[in-house]
Amino acid sequence: MSDTETKPSNQDGGDKKDGEYIKLKVIGQDSSEIHFKVKMTTHLKKLKESYSQRQV
């Protein structure tokens, strides 16, 4: 047994903290693109409502 402690590494190589944003690109059936910048803690319902309001 050793005294060194191994820390788990993230698969994506980045350190994600609460409050960080992610960028999403939603492509509609008509090839229209809408970009969103949301926090990781944002509920999917809120994203879907925002998407439906932006549709023409």
pLDDT tens for residues 16-52? 566 699 999 999 999 999 999 999 999 999 999 999 9
pLDDT at 48: 93
The structure tokens listed for 11 are: 């698969």
Q: Residue 25 belongs to what domain range?
A: 21-54
Is residue 42 domain-resident?
yes
**Domain contains 50:** yes
Beta bridge mates, 38: 22
Q: Does residue 29 sit within a domain?
A: yes
Asked whether residue 10 is domain-assigned, the answer is no
Which of 42, 7, 39 is closest to 23 using CA atoms?
Answer: 39
Which residue blocks in 1-56 are alpha helix, DSSP H? 44-54
What's the confidence (pLDDT) of residue 40?
94
When pLDDT is cut at 50, 70 and 90, the band that residue 55 belongs to is confident
* pTM: predicted TM-score of the whole model, two decimal places: 0.57
Total structural domains within the chain: 1
Residues ≥6 apart with Cβ < 8 Å to 33:
25, 26, 27
Rounded Cα gap, residues 7 and 19, in angstroms: 23
